[in-house]
Amino acid sequence: MFSARPPLRKSEIPCHELPIHVNTHVKNGRIIQTREARIRARRQIAVRPIRAVMSDQSGGATTTTTTLPGSGGSPTSSSDINVKAVMTIRKKMKEKLNERIEESWESFVNGIGQGIVIQLASEEIDPVTKEGKKSAETAVRGWFSTSPDHRYILEYAANLTVPSSFGRPGAIIITNLHPKEFFLMEITLHGFSEGPVFFPAHSWIHSRNDDPESRVIFSNQPYLPSQTPSGLRELRAAGMVSLRGYGRGERKKFERIYDYASYNDLGNPDKDEDLARPILGGKERPYPRRCRTGRHPCSSDPFSESRIGKPHPVYVPRDETFEETKQATFSAGALKALLHNLVPSLAAALSSSDNPFQCFTEIDQLYKDGVALKMEESKNVFSSMLLPAMMKKVVSASESILKYETPAVISRDRFAWLRDNEFARQTLAGVNPVNIERVQEFPIRSKLDSSVFGSPESALTRECLEQELNGMSVEEAIQKRRLYILDYHDLLLPFIKKMNALKGRKAYASRTIFFLCQKSDSLRPIAIELSLPPTSSSPESKYVYTHGHDATSYWTWKLAKAHVCSNDAGVHQLVNHWLRTHACMEPYIIATHRQLSCMHPIYKLLHPHMRYTMEINALARQSLINAGGVIEACFSLGKYSMEVSSAAYKNWRFDYEALPADLIRRGMAVEDPSKSSGVRLLIEDYPYAADGLLIWEAIKEWVDLYVNRYYDEPNSVASDYELQAWWDEVKNKGHPDKRNEPWWPKLRTKEDLSDILTIIIWTASGQHAAINFGQYPFGGYVPNRPAVMRKLIPQEGEPDYAEFLLNPEQTFLSSIPTQLMATKVMAVQDTLSTHSPDEEYLGQLHITHARWTSDEEIQKGFVGFSSRLDEIEEIINERNRDSRLKNRNGAGVPPYELLLPTSGPGVTGRGIPNSISI
């Protein structure tokens, strides 16, 4: 920490220190360069020697001095500090011809005195002006320097002089006189006695033509609000005000405004009334809030926001957009290309024959022979995108072949998906391991309104279950913690009638009971209940299936399991994946930018966990979860998908997003103070939970260390007004439909803070990774996890029952997704399971963010966190080698790797990125 010197009286100040030019001023919380200041700056620029500086390999700098025509330089006092500001800028990789021409023109213009103007702000107050001390403004020159080693990284510099009493520089004010924005990575100041001072930015600096407000980049020294050096206080407050906006007008591409809106942008009623969708967010359909874009309302519905047409991007604050490497190569970029090009091409190739698979061999052919896309239809696909690793192309003279990689679920054991033990194993180690619960009460009852949904009693009777309990009574099995359930009944039943009225969709609300075999510590499904809502002709439509041993029971059991998997796929996608990770993170991110200064230590802690989430969410609202989007097209819930997501949010609780709390809520663990995580798993071989707890604890330990470092004073959390405003906003503006819930944790102590931050970081990292990156490995084989079911199970006496008896395989294949639905969902799942080459994994620091903090103790703590994650990787690998753990080791059983911290690029089924970016 740097302590401010006691202020000098005016008479004590050496005269050469007095004329600190204050060329910018704060107006309505905005940093504005005055007209007078701009003129003065130009004059100063005109007489100042300017240097273009290039870093050499050793990190030093070579300089060339350019003395401008007519400039005489300015004499400096021996007690002045000569400061060199080195500015690192990232250039666009792809530039259109017109941009290159513009750039040449700018180089010329820049050479005669226009460009980037910077001004240093001291941490100290100027005793005369009573404002923060500021240097004179100076221009950065040389828009044409290029490092041969880093083609897209450019460095420029400016020399400034400040008096020796200037104090430590705490911020740099930047004004971009160029007509175009530029991406500022970092500024380093050389010349101060304490060594180089770093100002990490990683931000787009807008052109003054777009917005007259100057930008302020703070040094990497974290400060709690109360510790903010007096010279920076005004800049700190102003910086946040400028990010909040005023909740009016349509957001423009260059803006960095973070504001809230409800989900009123999913429908497109102007195009077709069937594409109208209800607004999510409000009493009837509660939902977390999204980033406000302010587009004008639809003409057919004033409450819904109009859609934005391709190729225009949806607004997200400028610094939230994908970097070019991500755009141009994999994952999110591929997702865009996939949605815009590949999915329509698949539709064109298959729509005339959107048939069910005729035999299982046809499904296998997707991995062997691929899907033939006509050359005309596919050329855009292959020319405009790099396909994710799992999809390959083979181009012949007349057609392209889109070939899918064999997904992990069938790569080791072709028939595992047919077996009950694999069905059960996937509830503990699959892509959706978060819905399995322990049965704690019997009989099983619905909480739905019985006047609408019929008798609350489940058809899963004692007699039915006890046939499968090895002589045990139901009570005994419950008491011995041996009965488990996957229960989608109450969430889905209210939607089943509407879903089943959609063309080609037929679903039930399911409950599946599992029995825990003590000897093998593994689950076995023993009964499935499939329910339809009551009708006047059929007040009870509850069907119970058991695995049976005769041929007919075998096939109906298999169909019942497929219906359960379809329920599971929908809930996984819309609730556990989209709602609980993607949608719930967005308000935390918005609140963090609006209420925590980027100088705030908690902002610095959260920053890596917020990367790209707003943009991937915007892309999803535009093309995945929107009316008529891929999710509606490919999942059973169809146009009611997001309504189901909202219904699930009614039961969402922030405190239950903590992994130990979630496990206790589901009865999968009990409290155990002797365990470092505080809980003991009741099924020890529960790979998601066992590995998840290791990651959870590592995050908690790191967060505890971090929070303790900054909040060692009693009451320091309660008195941190930025932090308190942040938490209030998360609750009241980010999750306003839940604002009055009693379960929100209080934020009074450092323990409270640590618990809250651990939940947020776990959600963005471990939880999302476990739920996201197994989508193709498990869903890429459609019979294992059909996203949609198209037929109910034939019942005796019904017309299609005879057909079922004659050809059960055909009944099964005609019940699961058609070829078009399957290939579409496989392509999307493949892309969503892909790691980008520039992914940042938990515990890793990208080289460009190496100077995120100046706090050495915290840097050391981060190294400890990284080492712990390395150890955890080894523990997980060891668990996967342990033959006692049948859910992750055995003949043909894939290891559980979804929570291994690291990964390479592509679809790897492992790796925990810091943030949700796909």
Catalytically active residues are 577, 582, 768, 772, 918
C-beta closer to Fe ion: residue 505 or 580: 580
Distance from C-alpha of 647 to C-alpha of 637, rounded to nearest angstrom: 13
Q: What φ, ψ does residue 565 adopt, rounded to 5°?
A: -65, -35
Three-class SS state of 212: coil
C-beta closer to Fe ion: residue 427 or 617: 617
Q: Which two structure tokens, joined as six digits, stand for 380? A: 């855009």
Q: How far is the CB of 786 from Fe ion (least distance, A)?
A: 21
> Is residue 836 near Fe ion by the rule CB under 5 A?
no
Question: How far does Cα 78 stand from its chain's mean position?
Answer: 53
Closest CA to 718 of 693, 753, 681: 753
Are 210 and 230 in contact by the 8 Å Cβ rule? The answer is no
Distance from C-alpha of 874 to C-alpha of 688, rounded to nearest angstrom: 16
Distance from C-alpha of 395 to C-alpha of 386, rounded to nearest angstrom: 14
Return the residue matching tokens 């059991």. 557
CA angle 18, 22, 27 (to 5 degrees): 145
Closest CA to 31 of 175, 141, 193: 175
Are 613 and 916 in contact by the 8 Å Cβ rule? The answer is yes
Distance from C-alpha of 46 to C-alpha of 114, rounded to nearest angstrom: 10
Distance from C-alpha of 192 to C-alpha of 167, rounded to nearest angstrom: 9
Q: How far is the CB of 243 from Fe ion (least distance, A)?
A: 25
Listed ranges 226-234, 257-265, 480-488, 770-778: which one lies at the site for Fe ion (CB under 5 A): 770-778
Contact partners, residue 321, CB within 8 Å, separation at least 6: 313, 615
Closest CA to 327 of 313, 343, 315: 313
List C-alpha distances in Å: 2 to 5, 87, 161, 229, 519: 9, 24, 21, 9, 63
Is the bond into 443 cis (omega within 30 degrees of 0)? yes
Three-class SS state of 119: strand
Distance from C-alpha of 621 to C-alpha of 629, rounded to nearest angstrom: 9
Q: How far is the CB of 916 from Fe ion (least distance, A)?
A: 6
Do strands 153-163 and 80-90 pair parallel, antiparallel, or not at all (unpaired)?
antiparallel
Are 244 and 180 in contact by the 8 Å Cβ rule? The answer is no
C-beta closer to Fe ion: residue 754 or 772: 772
H or E, element range at 803: helix 799-806
Kindly identify the residues of this chain, within the stretch 556-585, that bind Fe ion according to CB under 5 A.
none
C-beta closer to Fe ion: residue 204 or 612: 612
Do strands 541-545 and 522-532 pair parallel, antiparallel, or not at all (unpaired)?
antiparallel
Q: How far is the CB of 852 from Fe ion (least distance, A)?
A: 24
**Quick one: the chain helix, strand, coil %, rounded to 5?**
40, 15, 40
Closest CA to 156 of 167, 142, 166: 142
C-beta closer to Fe ion: residue 400 or 772: 772
C-beta closer to Fe ion: residue 159 or 763: 763
Distance from C-alpha of 547 to C-alpha of 551, rounded to nearest angstrom: 10
Residue 7's identity, in one-letter code, is P
Q: How far is the CB of 775 from Fe ion (least distance, A)?
A: 8
> Is residue 765 near Fe ion by the rule CB under 5 A?
no
With CB atoms as reference, the residue minimizing the distance to Fe ion is: 772
Environment class of 487 (CB within 10 Å of its CB; exposed 0-12, middle 13-18, buried 19+)? buried
> Is residue 772 near Fe ion by the rule CB under 5 A?
yes
Listed ranges 51-59, 302-310, 766-774, 851-859: which one lies at the site for Fe ion (CB under 5 A): 766-774
Q: How far is the CB of 436 from Fe ion (least distance, A)?
A: 21
Q: How far is the CB of 324 from Fe ion (least distance, A)?
A: 21
Specify whether the backbone of 612 is left (phi greater than 0), alpha (psi in -120 to 50) or beta: left
C-beta closer to Fe ion: residue 110 or 772: 772
Q: How far is the CB of 581 from Fe ion (least distance, A)?
A: 6
User: 132 has which bridge partners?
Assistant: 125
Total residues interacting with Fe ion, rule: CB under 5 A: 1
- 447-459 burial, b at 16+ Cβ within 10 Å, e below that, comes to ebeeeebbeeebb
User: 484 has which bridge partners?
Assistant: 438, 514
Residue 246: how many CB atoms within 10 A of its CB?
A: 7
List C-alpha distances in Å: 115 to 182, 184, 201, 918: 11, 14, 18, 36
Listed ranges 199-207, 415-423, 764-772, 907-915: which one lies at the site for Fe ion (CB under 5 A): 764-772
C-beta closer to Fe ion: residue 331 or 887: 331
Residue 397: how many CB atoms within 10 A of its CB?
A: 5
Q: Which two structure tokens, joined as six digits, stand for 541? A: 């439509």
Q: How far is the CB of 696 from Fe ion (least distance, A)?
A: 19
Distance from C-alpha of 863 to C-alpha of 865, rounded to nearest angstrom: 5
Distance from C-alpha of 335 to C-alpha of 339, rounded to nearest angstrom: 6
Mark residues 722-761: x for contact with Fe ion by CB under 5 A, - for none: ----------------------------------------
Residue 746's identity, in one-letter code, is K
Q: How far is the CB of 642 from Fe ion (least distance, A)?
A: 16
C-beta closer to Fe ion: residue 433 or 808: 433
Kindly identify the residues of this chain, within the stretch 411-470, that bind Fe ion according to CB under 5 A.
none
Q: How far is the CB of 770 from Fe ion (least distance, A)?
A: 11
Q: How far is the CB of 258 from Fe ion (least distance, A)?
A: 21
Q: How far is the CB of 832 from Fe ion (least distance, A)?
A: 6
C-beta closer to Fe ion: residue 51 or 785: 785
| Residues making contact with Fe ion (CB under 5 A) | 772
